[in-house]
Amino acid sequence: MQENSENLSALSHLDDRGQAQMVDVSDKAPTVREAIAIGRVKMLAETFNAIQAGNVPKGDVLGTARLAGIMAAKQTASLIPLCHPLPLHKIEVQVTPDPQLPGYQLQAIVKTKAETGVEMEALTAVSVTALTLYDMAKALEKSIQIEAIQLVSKTGGKSDWGVGNRK
């Protein structure tokens, strides 16, 4: 049993009894940290064209989705257990039309100066942007697809990471 508890304590989110715990980051120095996440929302050309033309019953689909993503990043610690509440210094959400999908490419950039990173905040921003886009357009189409939400880079802290150097 002791060997098992030693293995469990090596996992940062588990205590020596295997119970979930928030990681103590109080000994870490605050550094500038940034994370970038992406995703996409695919839909029928007719739905895409209606959104682009502003002909959607619920109103401003893209503006509402972008604002929802920003608000979601700020609420990440309330949504995901064990996430640290962080002071966010930058939240940028981009919703870019892509007629080739057809649909939208999504990107969130989140930045802070803190003891831990903002990967979850960037991923949450993209996820909620996509969900809101779906919600705003579902009256036109139920088969909208949310795809490929992923972290593409993070900087600051112990290590930098990007899609080109996955670790």
Would you list the domain boundaries of the chain?
30-157
pTM for the structure as a whole? 0.86
Q: What is the DSSP letter of 89?
A: E
pLDDT digits (tens, 9 = 90+) for 67-126: 999 999 999 999 998 888 999 999 999 999 999 999 999 999 999 999 888 999 999 999
The CATH code belonging to domain 30-157 is 3.30.70.640
Among positive and negative, which fits the CA dihedral 57, 38, 79, 110? negative
If pLDDT is split at 50, 70 and 90, which confidence band does 10 have?
low
pLDDT digits (tens, 9 = 90+) for 13-34: 666 777 777 777 777 888 999 9
> What pLDDT is stored for residue 154 in this prediction?
95
pLDDT score of 59 more than 50? yes
Q: The tokens of 6 are what?
A: 């030693």
Q: Which residue has the higher pLDDT, 104 or 161?
A: 104
Q: Which residues of 15-38 are buried (b: 16+ CB within 10 A; e: fewer)?
A: eeeeeeeeeeeeeeeeeebbbbbb
Amino acid at 26: S
> What pLDDT is stored for residue 21 in this prediction?
73
pLDDT score of 131 more than 80? yes
Residues classed as catalytic: 135
